[in-house]
Structure 1
């Protein structure tokens, strides 16, 4: 029996050691598996954190110097950051966060300083012995798909504010419908429904909106749908029948203003006090309001237009010409002979010439004859192509159902590449179904 005691003891010792090693490994693995407090891509558990705001007249160099960063290191950081985020671009009131570690003598050292460019974007400045680093990042956000409706009492922006909707939604709707809806002719009772993505940081802090997945705008009893669909490699918005929402000319050359005078052949001039034709539309707006070309064309006149003050005239296809009067100035690069594209910035609202206040006098001529800018017929851009019709109708029907509250979440369109929509019927199947 004695011959067996020693091997058995050895086996017991080895087993005990194996158990101990297994426990150590398990503890290490468990520690590694513990969730870390990651902030701006940095493990915040390893640091003491301080937060602050950029004060009036404060530079990043001054802030860093307050954390013990030397002038030589700040100069090195200034050179390294020029191509990523120049240090001079920091702004008063923006937040910053310092990540500080203490050495064996409990002396504090700044490892990172994070500057928040806006609600979602930030810059991380790193300090590692004698080297520095600069990187940009964006906070993670969650996306909620939302459907909202509102009735207009005064203006689109007013309805957005009354319903506590994101302000950016008003700008998005104006961009989508700028060829179709007359935002200067909105009446009380007009309404809209829109499906859009809203972004949230930490699942609670609003951080803007994403894609507008569809809209329905009712003006004067007529409904205008906006259906997103990808054609020719680009997502655009289309009417219910597949016509493009984009038209030959924008409805107006500027935003956020009101019509102060309309097209007429008998208006009493506010300065000369006599009746004379006013063959244009006056848009009252603050001085400096951006003015955009309503269509592609070529600048044929730039200069002083007498009573019209600083004036631009642009020639377009179809023997059309547009005029922009009383400008305070012209956009950079605009000169006689310049080619401009639809929506391009061309100048700014002013009060030059015979004017009683800042406004834009906008005019259109066809074959040299003045026509009312508010009544010009609109030619749509290229419609949905025949080969895309079945896929478009698939997307349209589901977006329309979602706008009307008639679709389940699992049936919603979640991407818009018509070539890979798995449920989209083939053209032959769609034809057979009809």
Structure 2
């Protein structure tokens, strides 16, 4: 049977990430967009306010200087605004005395003020203007901008929740309809012309196609099983009659017995296939003793070992000799029978060991093993271990996996250190159990 395969190291389970709902994503998108837009407007407002402040102060200083020159030409006293101060001659701040005419920013008493240096009166003079009043206005503007920013975020959050609810509600209704198994024709939004309607109709079409496929498969399995029962019963009865009439001819009696046994086995497999096509909850799960069932399947497979130097043995732990599992015996026989049959078929010499342990059955052989190229797909349908196929359709292990899933069991593939193959059929998953896919 299949070559040795190294069991991969178990991966540490990663903590599950907190689920992100569609509603949360929509709200986050609204808030992010609002934050970007409000931030852009805030930056523009600050730049505009600063530019306006500079222009207003420059214009006020320029108008004041022009008025001062005009009044001086008329021999009238200067008329200055309260925030503007005039400096002449030696009173001009020292850091402006050697500067050419123009606008400057200087520090007076620890406060920055705007200064305009001119020489229109024949002598140099300086006008300074404190922007304290502009600072107050600017602080008020910035405060209003902050309040508007917070209000926009709150409004965006409200609109995000409202919009998300309107968008997510139809999707949630569709998901609930699919999850609860509602009829495809009862899905919401089927008449809608938007993208949600397209999604609903796609779900309905896909669900109907799947239901038709499952119905065809169920009907086919049931019909085939039903139609095969009668000819199999006839074959079984004819084999029993033939065996009785051939009394005394041992060679022919043995042949008739093989026909009878094969017909009986086929009849049981047909019943099992019919059960496998049904819902597990509807098939029932009577307690089935495993030790007699293993012996029965081993006896069925012993003809496969004729002419081979192979010894098949059964080992049962003391606590497992009376072990029973909740499963239909026909299905349990398919699972363990296919594994034992594969071990006998692919082992030319050595041993086939069947071990019954508490919670699992182990079938181990010293055969050729499973090639590394097919280990990951060994439970796939139509996957054959040997290139020639050995007369097999490649369905045995796929059926075992399907039966195991039907019964709630776990089948796994291991590689013994001494070679060969080991299949483990666990009746209940344990912390160390491998997944249903092969190792």
The answer to whether the superposition gives a TM-score over 0.5 is no
Q: What TM bracket, shorter-length normalisation?
A: under 0.3
> More strand by proportion, 1 or 2?
1
TM-score (norm 2): 0.24
Q: Name the structure with the higher helix share.
A: 2
Greater relative CO (CA pairs within 8 A, separation 6+): 2
Bigger Cα Rg: 2
TM-score by length of 1: 0.25
